[in-house]
Amino acid sequence: MKIESVDFFYVSMPEVLDIGDGSQDALLVRISAGGNEGWGECEASPLTTIASYVCPMSHSACKPVKYSLEGERIESVNDIYRISNLVHENSLDLLQADHTLSGIDTALWDLFGKMTGEPVYRLLGYNKANSKVPYASQLFGDTPQESFDKALKSKTDGYKAVKFGWGPFGTKGLKADIEQLHAVREGLGKDILLMVDAGTVWNGKVDQARERLAALKSVDVFWLEEPFRNLYLEDYKSLSESTPKIDIAGGEGCNNFAQAQAMIKYAGIKFIQIDVGRVGGISAAKQVADLALVSNVFYVNHTFTSNLALSASLQPYAGIKDYTICEYPVELKPLAKEITKTSILPDENGYINVPDKPGLGVEIDTQSVKKYLIDTEIKIGGKRVYITPDI
């Protein structure tokens, strides 16, 4: 059967704050075929991503993403991979293409899972989905006391692992960072895994990152995440070889498989973190997980948005038993919580489980989507090329 429609829905909180919180807006993708609907989410600027789908052709290698999708058949998983390859061929010079493809590819997997009655992880070749240990992902507080309070709450809530990131960390000097680190460790106690996300704050400044290693070691940090921007391979490698030894995580900024491959091979990282909504979708993420498995690097999902995105992010490594942890955001804005009827919650033992239902196993709450929907219209030369679709 053929793809009948591809719709984009730009949703946003009434006010978007200047903080490192990606749950304040979203771009949802709905693909329809044969009486079924598949849903995906792009982790990217919504308006920019819509534009990449409908923009005019610039030349043979810079076509709009819709050129590779509308009217294509979807009859097997091979068609999903084929469409991904078409996008890369036809939109080679369209730099937003992989972000746009990420939501599309995810929606195609969800669609085909519903068509066949199979969960996505089975379509990817896994016999079962293994439970994951969620780490409560959150921002540092503005003060050490706020961070302590957040850490204590995560401990009280029963999390076995917690990550703090962004906020003031790395911006107010070494002494302030040390105070933050000791505050969260005090709040968590000694037995809970602690990860720290530097939010690329030391980009190009390896010495500043290196100055924090002793402090990170003193509070038994499990990993240091994103000390630098994506693909700053020499900086990552240099820090990974510094003492005291702290394992490094990175990769959430990877926009395609090749970038993730470079991070795995040359950055010296121990953990590769992949965002399905950025890397090109579930197809590309599964390719990264397979490479990590043979490269002595641990694959971890990156997600800081909705439960739709969370389910999608778990599928590529659901069946790999040795990859035991997953990012689990605990400070989502109402939008990210409400746009799905499905909530993926820790079970009685504190583990996260992939929904064992067709597709991604996540139901969209269309009424909530309407609540946050941003009416959008794009015209080119007086001709309308996009208007917010009905939902």
Instruction: Tell me what pLDDT residue 133 has.
Output: 98
Residues 328-374: pLDDT tens digits? Answer: 999 999 999 999 999 999 999 999 999 999 999 999 999 999 999 99
What one-character-per-residue DSSP string does 31-100 give?
A: EEETTEEEEEEE-S-HHHHHHHHHPPP-BTTB--GGGGTTT-B-SSHHHHHHHHHHHHHHTTT-TTHHHH
Instruction: Note the Cα 175 to chain centre separation in Å.
Output: 31
Mean pLDDT for 90-105 is 97
Asked if the model's pLDDT at residue 20 lies above 90, the reply is no
As a whole number of angstroms, the distance between CA 195 and CA 61 comes to: 41
Instruction: Tell me what pLDDT residue 313 has.
Output: 98
As a whole number of angstroms, the distance between CA 136 and CA 147 comes to: 13
Residues 30-84: pLDDT tens digits? Answer: 999 999 999 999 998 999 999 999 999 999 999 999 999 999 999 999 999 999 9
Beta-carbon contacts of residue 142 (< 8 Å; ≥ 6 apart): 167, 168
As a whole number of angstroms, the distance between CA 117 and CA 308 comes to: 18
Average pLDDT, the chain: 97
Q: Is the pTM of this model over 0.85?
A: yes
Asked if the model's pLDDT at residue 131 lies above 90, the reply is yes
Residues 222-271: pLDDT tens digits? Answer: 999 999 999 999 999 999 999 999 999 999 999 999 999 999 999 999 99
Tokens read off for 219: 């509070």
As a whole number of angstroms, the distance between CA 338 and CA 368 comes to: 6
Q: How far is CA 260 from CA 197, 266, 273, 360, in A?
A: 18, 10, 9, 24
Confidence of residue 279 (pLDDT cuts 50, 70, 90): very high
Asked if the model's pLDDT at residue 307 lies above 90, the reply is yes
Question: Strand 25-33 and strand 221-225: pairing?
Answer: unpaired
Confidence of residue 159 (pLDDT cuts 50, 70, 90): very high
Rg of the chain's alpha carbons, rounded to an integer? Answer: 21
Mean pLDDT for 161-181 is 97
Instruction: Tell me what pLDDT residue 388 has.
Output: 96
Beta-carbon contacts of residue 205 (< 8 Å; ≥ 6 apart): none
